[in-house]
């Protein structure tokens, strides 16, 4: 491959106003971190571009990592050369010889000249280079309106950058720049996608999972750990904190005291109450979840209204208007789908009431809640959350321990403490 560099763009900075510098600092830090493990790569930052000098490293390894950096708008595989016109001509020909090998194509040269001191105008450069390439490559024909292949030349800072395509990057804002949010993570298809969308928009996430082991299986909690590991690839430092909330007692109280039709409503109101307190405790400015209007009984507008009324912090629902097919496509893209469809039951699915209400009355929900001392239980759950940091390369295996996640994690911490003190 002739490419020796990747040119990375990050969109229109004028839109970022006063936050430009913060934006750039976060972005550079994210890119540097992702490139850290690739020996030989050299990352160069300028005020409006990042240049990644490959130095022989496979460009696919770099692209794979760039696709995990939010805030980048696009990138191109480029050949960099000096800006004297003869060198540009030769490099352009070499690139086109590599790109067009077997069948004839139409092409066009497009020149941008950032260096206004350069002795030739853009049109002159285009003319000279396309004339030279055409006369030395017999499979090319010019078509300025609808070319099959384009050759872009950017002359800037004593160099010329040559490339054929621009690939869209992740977009959005550098993760972390918008502050922290608490993602309600269930282990299904939707919530990891919601978390990814939030990170893409600049929100650093911590995850919260309500686990009811041993009412639910340890595998359902393991699934959450494994999903967080996948999502951590998009997080700052490849790490996400997950809060495992012991939910069994509340879950049992709900099954005992609440009418079947209100079980899901009350369960979700409890989740929101705990999540709100956890968000305050961990300085998260919002909740994020995978709800989408109309998907299930608890996601009608009536249900959402009744459930949402127990919290006063913003609840972001990145998927609220998404079709399931679109959610699945993103789930596959971020490599969570195969995990998400593993059939382990969590607390919302282990006992599914036959006729859940789609239009709950808040007074009724409050009535059922008054039948047990839920506030104490909520506070206890918050105090007894097990907080673990999962990184993209961690391999926490819950099944090695016991039946209840709370015991499992106790054992896990003990083991770690012991091994660290040795």
Nearest to 359 by CA among 291, 303, 281, 412: 303
**291 contacts ligand ATP (rule: CB under 6 A):** yes
Instruction: In angstroms, give the least distance from the CB of 325 to ligand ATP.
Output: 14
Q: Which does 347 bind (CB under 5 to 8 A by kind): ligand ATP, Mg ion, none?
A: ligand ATP
Q: Which does 231 bind (CB under 5 to 8 A by kind): Mg ion, ligand ATP, none?
A: none
**269 contacts ligand ATP (rule: CB under 6 A):** no
The 3-class SS string of the chain reads: CCCCEEEEECCCHHHHHHHHHHHHHHHHHHHHHHHCCCCCCEEEECCCEEEEECCCCCHHHHHHHHCCCCCCCEEEEEEEEECCHHHHHHHHHHHHHHHCCCCCEEEEEEEEECCCCCCCCHHHHHHHHHHHHHHHCCCEEECCCCCCEEEEEEEECCEEEEECCCEECCCCCCCCCCEEEEEECCCCCHHHHHHHHHHHCCEEEEEEEEECCCCCCHHHHHHHHHHHHHHHHHCHHHEEEEEEEECHHHHHHHHHHCCHHHHHHHHHHHHHHHHHHHHHHCCCCEEECCCCCCCCHHHCHHHHHHHHCCCCCCEECCCCCCCHHHHHHHHHHCCCHHHHCCCCCCCCCCCCCCCCCCCCCHHHHHHHHCCCCHHHHHHHHHHCCEEEEEECCCCCCHHHCCCCHHHHHHHHHHHHHHHHHC
Q: Which of 50, 88, 348, 382 binds ligand ATP (CB under 6 A)?
A: 348
Please count the residues of this chain forming the interface with ligand ATP, following the rule CB under 6 A.
19
Residues 174-203 that bind ligand ATP (CB under 6 A): 184-186, 188-191
Q: Which does 63 bind (CB under 5 to 8 A by kind): Mg ion, ligand ATP, none?
A: none
User: Which is closer to Mg ion, CB of 186 or CB of 216?
Assistant: 186
**289 contacts ligand ATP (rule: CB under 6 A):** yes
Residues 304-333 that bind ligand ATP (CB under 6 A): none
User: Which is closer to ligand ATP, CB of 151 or CB of 228?
Assistant: 228
User: Which is closer to Mg ion, CB of 89 or CB of 268?
Assistant: 268
Please count the residues of this chain forming the interface with Mg ion, following the rule CB under 5 A.
2
Name the residue number minimizing CB distance to ligand ATP: 188
C-alpha distances in Å from residue 259, one per residue of 247, 369, 371, 378: 19, 11, 11, 20
Residues 202-241 that bind ligand ATP (CB under 6 A): 208-210
Q: Which of 74, 295, 358, 394 binds ligand ATP (CB under 6 A)?
A: 295
Instruction: In angstroms, give the least distance from the CB of 289 to ligand ATP.
Output: 3
Name the residue number minimizing CB distance to Mg ion: 188
Q: Which does 295 bind (CB under 5 to 8 A by kind): Mg ion, ligand ATP, none?
A: ligand ATP
Instruction: In angstroms, give the least distance from the CB of 296 to Mg ion.
Output: 8
What is the CA 295 to chain-centroid distance, rounded? 23
Q: Are strands 49-53 and 5-9 parallel, antiparallel or unpaired?
A: antiparallel
Residues 164-193 that bind Mg ion (CB under 5 A): 186, 188
Q: Which does 404 bind (CB under 5 to 8 A by kind): ligand ATP, Mg ion, none?
A: none
Q: Which does 291 bind (CB under 5 to 8 A by kind): Mg ion, ligand ATP, none?
A: ligand ATP
User: Which is closer to Mg ion, CB of 63 or CB of 255?
Assistant: 255
**265 contacts ligand ATP (rule: CB under 6 A):** no
Q: Which of 227, 263, 286, 347 binds ligand ATP (CB under 6 A)?
A: 347
Judged by the rule CB under 5 A, the positions of this chain that interact with Mg ion are: 186, 188
Judged by the rule CB under 6 A, the positions of this chain that interact with ligand ATP are: 184-186, 188-191, 208-210, 289-291, 295-296, 298, 346-348
């Amino acid at each position: 491959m002739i490419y020796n560099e990747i040119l990375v763009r990050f969109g229109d900075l004028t839109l970022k106003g006063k936050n430009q510098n913060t934006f750039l600092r976060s972005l550079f830090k994210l890119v540097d971190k992702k490139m850290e493990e690739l020996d030989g790569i050299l990352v160069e930052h300028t005020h409006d571009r990042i240049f990644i000098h490959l130095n022989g490293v496979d460009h696919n390894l770099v692209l794979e990592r760039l696709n995990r950096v939010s805030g980048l708008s696009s990138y191109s595989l480029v050949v960099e050369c000096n800006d004297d016109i003869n060198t540009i001509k030769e490099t352009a020909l070499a690139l086109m010889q590599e790109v067009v090998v077997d069948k004839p194509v139409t092409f066009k040269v497009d020149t941008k000249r950032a260096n206004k001191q350069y002795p030739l105008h853009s049109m002159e450069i285009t003319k000279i280079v396309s004339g030279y390439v055409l006369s030395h490559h017999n499979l090319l024909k010019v078509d300025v309106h609808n070319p099959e292949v384009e050759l872009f030349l950017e002359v800037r800072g004593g160099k010329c950058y040559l490339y054929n395509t621009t690939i869209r990057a992740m977009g959005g804002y550098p993760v972390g720049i918008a502050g922290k949010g608490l993602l309600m993570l269930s282990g299904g298809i939707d919530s990891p996608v919601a978390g990814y969308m939030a990170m893409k928009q600049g929100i650093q996430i911590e995850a919260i999972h309500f686990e009811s082991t041993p009412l639910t299986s340890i595998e359902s909690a393991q699934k959450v750990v494994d999903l967080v590991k996948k999502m951590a690839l998009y997080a700052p430092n490849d790490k996400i904190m997950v809060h495992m909330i012991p939910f069994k007692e509340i879950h049992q109280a709900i099954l005992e005291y609440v009418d079947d039709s209100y079980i899901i409503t009350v369960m979700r109101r409890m989740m929101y109450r705990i999540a709100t307190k956890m968000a305050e405790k961990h300085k998260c400015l919002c909740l994020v979840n995978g709800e989408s209007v109309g998907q299930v009984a608890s996601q009608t507008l009536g249900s959402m209204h009744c459930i949402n009324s127990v919290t006063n912090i913003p609840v972001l629902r990145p998927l609220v208007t998404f079709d399931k097919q679109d959610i699945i496509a993103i789930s596959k893209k971020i490599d969570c789908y195969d995990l998400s469809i593993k059939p382990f039951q969590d607390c919302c699915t282990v006992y599914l009431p036959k006729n859940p209400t789609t239009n709950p009355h808040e007074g009724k929900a409050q009535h059922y809640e008054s039948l047990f001392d839920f506030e104490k239980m909520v506070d206890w759950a918050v105090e007894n959350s097990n907080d673990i940091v999962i990184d993209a390369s961690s391999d926490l295996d819950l099944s090695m321990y016991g039946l209840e996640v709370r015991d499992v994690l106790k054992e896990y911490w003990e083991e770690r403490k012991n091994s660290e003190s040795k």
